[in-house]
Amino acid sequence: MAIDTPAPSANPSAVTDSSLRSATQNPTPARLSARDKLVLFVLCAAQFMVALDFSVLNVALPVLGADLQMSDAALQWAVTAFALPSGGFLLLSGRLGDLYGRRRLFLSGLALFGAASVLATFAWDAPSFLAARALQGIGAAAIVPTGMALLTTTFREGPQRDRALGLSGTLMSLGFTVGMVLGGILTDTLGWRSTMGLLALFAVLVLPVAPALLKESQSPERPKLDVPGAITVTGGLLALIYALTTAAEHGFGKLDVQLTLAAGVLLLAAFVRIESRTAQPLVSLPMLRRPNVAWGNVGGLITFSMMTTIVFVLTLYLQQTLGLSPFQTGLVFGAQGVAAFVSGTLTPRFVGRYGSRKVLVVGLTGQAVFTAGLLVTGTGTLGVVLATLVASLACVFHMGAIISYGITVTSGVPDEQQGLATGLVTSSQQLGLTVGIPLLGVLATTADDLTSGYHLVVAVDAAIVLASALLIAVGLRRKSLAG
User: For residue range 41-96, what is the model confidence (pLDDT) as tens digits?
Assistant: 888 888 888 877 877 776 676 678 788 887 655 666 777 788 778 777 777 787 78
Listed as own residue / partner, the contacts of 22-29 with beta carbons closer than 8 Å and 24 or more positions apart are: 27/2, 27/3, 27/158, 27/159, 28/2, 28/3, 28/4, 28/156, 28/157, 28/158, 28/159, 28/160, 29/2, 29/159, 29/160
Section 17-23 average pLDDT? 39
**Is pLDDT at 182 greater than 50 in this prediction?**
yes
Residue whose C-alpha is closest to residue 200's, from 215, 186, 217: 186
What was the pLDDT predicted at 21?
A: 40
Section 384-394 average pLDDT? 83
Section 36-40 average pLDDT? 78
Q: Residue 188 CB: number of other CB atoms within 10 A? A: 13
- Amino acid identity, position 51: A
**Is pLDDT at 368 greater than 90 in this prediction?**
yes
Share above pLDDT 70 across residues of the chain, in percent, rounded to a whole number: 76
Q: How confident is the model at residue 212 (pLDDT cuts 50, 70, 90)?
A: confident
Q: Are 143 and 50 in contact (CB under 8 A)?
A: yes
Q: How do residues 354-365 score in pLDDT, each as one tens digit?
A: 888 899 999 999
- Amino acid identity, position 309: T
Most confident of 81-90, 198-207, 313-322, 441-450: 198-207
Measured between alpha carbons, how far is residue 297 from residues 77, 201, 271, 304, 408 in Å?
28, 32, 18, 11, 9
Most confident of 57-71, 299-313, 428-442: 299-313
* pLDDT, greater one: 125 or 336: 125
What was the pLDDT predicted at 174?
A: 67
- Mean pLDDT, rounded, of the chain: 77
